A and B are shown apart, each in its own frame.
Chain A
């Protein structure tokens, strides 16, 4: 079965430190890969995506993600975390017709 795994339910990081939110996928073909962010009581917002090309993708709010084909991973990163980055992050793989979603990782950035 196709799946997207976010192995950490919660990630805690101190403000100013680098952060990583992990995502691995088992989806056939060459899926598009996405990261979305959800702030409390809000809808999901697109952060960034990988389709093809450079393995390091830059997105909104200073986030970036590194695609690794051999490890089928697409980890979300930010060099210096902000308290305002605290939110729920979702990884997804697929395309317009079918997206497989991870269960989400709650990021807490401590001042």
Chain B
């Protein structure tokens, strides 16, 4: 049982390049989230999804796009990377319709992105 898996774990981009971060969960969770973590700013929600085919904006969505074509996957895209997007990105999932629900989020190990 892998839980939440993020790829890649590290990436260096040049300004203006595009990339996609992939998040996969094997817990049959309905909800998935993308956060960014920056020093002194805690966790900030970028986008989230409450089910396959649905996405919604979080508190810092600008410059990012997401897709949830399959229930187990949640993709975060940067169309034109900027240095301000240098951060550690975390994917999380929660809530199963059929499983035991205790309300907590399950996090991946993080993806460290540097934009030069």
Contacts and interface: CB of A to CB of B under 8 A. Distances in A.
Interface in B22-75: 31, 40-43, 45, 50
Interface of B: 4, 31, 40-43, 45, 50, 90, 92, 94-95, 102-110
Contacts of A53: none
A53 to B, nearest CB: 13
Given A96-B31, A96-B95, A44 B105 contact: yes
B108 A43 contact: yes
Contact of A45 (B45, B94, B107): B107
Interface stretch (A19-27, A73-81, A100-108): A100-108
Interface string A89-104: 0100001110101111
Contacts of B107: 36, 43-45
Q: How large is the interface on A (under 10, 10 to 19, 20 to 34, 35 or more residues)?
A: 20 to 34
Nearest to A47: B104
A51 to B, nearest CB: 7
A43 B102 contact: no
Contact of B94 (A51, A90, A96, A102): A96
A32 B40 CA distance: 24
A42 to B, nearest CB: 6
